[in-house]
Amino acid sequence: MSDVRAGHKLIKAAMSAPYLDRAEEHDLAVSWKENKDQEALNKIATAHMRLVISMAAKFRNFGLPMSDLIQEGHVGLLEAAARFEPERDVRFSTYATWWIRASIQDYILRNWSIVRGGTSSAQKALFFNLRRLRAKLWRTNAHSPESDIHAEIALAVGVNVKDVAVMDARLSGADTSLNAPMMDSETPGSDRIEFLKSDDPLPDEQVSIMIDEERRSEWIKSALEKLNPREEKIIRERRLSEDGATLEALGSSLGISKERVRQIENRALQKLKDALEKDAPAITSI
C-alpha cells in the first residue's frame, strides 16, 4: 500500500510541476552540463516527469508494476540529461523520449520472463509490436490461417516467420516451471522435465561414436608414422592444425620454396592415403 501511495504522490508532484519554456530549459541544461549544477538537473527532471509517466503508461499491459516502469523511465530521463547537448537546436523532451522508452523497454525485457529473449533491434520490435500487429491483422483478416498472420507480421517487423511463431507462443502464456507436475500425466507425480525429449544420441550410439573416433585416431597416428620428419611437419601444420600454415610460411621455416612445399605435401598425402587404405579399407580420403 505504501508503494501505491508513493506512486500517487510522485504522479501528483509531476503533474503539478511547472513547464519550462525553451530559453529556461536551455539555461538549465547549460548550467548542468558546464557547472554540474544539481539544482538545475532536478528542475529539468521534475519538469519532464510527465513525459516519463506518459511513456510508462504505454507499457502497463506487460504486467509489471507501474511504479517500477516509472522508476526505470526516470533512470532513462537522467541518462538523457547527462548526455544532452544544449548547443544543438533540439528540445530536451524530444531527445529524452528515446532514452526513456529504451530504459523502460530494457527493464521489461529483463523482467517480463525468466526466459531471456532476443536483444537485437528486430527482436525488440517484434516483442513490443506483435500483439498490436496481431490484433490489427485479426480485425481485417479474421479467417486467415495462423501461418499467414505470422508471415505478415514477420514481413512488417523484418524477422523470419519462425521468430514470430516462437514469440507468439511466449506471449500467449506465462512461464511454467520444469519441476511442475504434469496434471494430465498417466504417471501421477511426474514432473514436466521428465518428458523433455533429448536430441542427444542414445547411449549405445554414443559408445559406437566414441569407439569409431578412437579407431580413426589410431589409424591416422599409424599412417603418420610412415612419413619422414619433413613430410609429417608439413602435414601437421597444413592439415592437422586449426590455423593451417601457409605454403610461404612453411617454405620459409624449412628453407625451401612454396612450390617445393606443395610437392612434398601432395606426396605425403598420397602416402597417408595408401597407408589408411591398407589398414582401414573403408577410409579412402582424408
Query: pLDDT, tens digit, for every residue of 74-83?
Result: 999 988 988 8
Which CATH number is 2-111's, of 1.10.1060.10, 1.10.3720.10, 3.40.50.970, 1.20.120.1810? 1.20.120.1810
pLDDT average, residue stretch 122-133: 66
pLDDT at 260 over 90: yes
pLDDT average, residue stretch 189-210: 71
Domain residue extents for the chain: 2-111, 121-172, 203-279
SS3 state at 108: helix
pLDDT one-digit tens code per residue, 27-59: 888 888 888 888 888 888 888 888 899 989 888
Contact 254, 230 (CB under 8 A): yes
Average the pLDDT over each of 128-132, 136-140, 169-173, 267-271 and give the range with the smallest value: 169-173
- Say what the pLDDT of residue 100 is: 92
- Say what the pLDDT of residue 226 is: 87
R_g over Cα of the chain: 33
More confident call, 73 vs 160 = 73
pLDDT at 115 over 60: no
Question: From CA 95, how far away is CA 90, in angstroms rounded?
Answer: 7
CA 26 to chain CA mean position, Å: 38
Percent of the chain at pLDDT exceeding 70: 67
Mean pLDDT across the chain: 77
pLDDT at 114 over 50: no
- Say what the pLDDT of residue 186 is: 58
Question: From CA 15, how far away is CA 243, in angstroms rounded?
Answer: 64
Name, of 92-101, 185-194, 241-250, the range with top average pLDDT: 92-101
Q: Do domains 2-111 and 203-279 have the same CATH topology?
A: no
CATH 3.60.20.10 holds for 203-279: no
| Residues 6 or more apart whose Cβ sits within 8 Å of residue 175 | 113, 114, 115
pLDDT at 285 over 60: no
More confident call, 147 vs 1 = 147
Q: Sign of torsion, CA 169 172 177 178? A: negative
Average the pLDDT over each of 1-5, 104-108, 183-187, 208-212 and give the range with the smallest value: 1-5
Question: Each residue of 72-86: b (16+ CB within 10 Å) or e?
Answer: bbbbbbbebbeebeb
pLDDT average, residue stretch 102-113: 80
DSSP string, 130-188: HHHHHHHHHHH-TTS-HHHHHHHHHHHHTS-HHHHHHHHHHHHS----TTSB-TT-SST
Beta strands in the chain (DSSP E): none
- Say what the pLDDT of residue 262 is: 92
pLDDT average, residue stretch 133-154: 69
| Category of 280 on φ-ψ map: left (φ > 0), alpha (ψ -120 to 50) or beta | beta
Angle, alpha carbons 79-85-90 (nearest 5°): 100
pLDDT average, residue stretch 244-249: 88
Percent of the chain at pLDDT exceeding 90: 9
- Say what the pLDDT of residue 283 is: 47
SS3 state at 191: strand
| Residues 6 or more apart whose Cβ sits within 8 Å of residue 32 | 38, 40, 41, 44, 81
Q: Supply the angle between the helices 229-239 and 258-279 in degrees, to the nearest 10.
A: 90
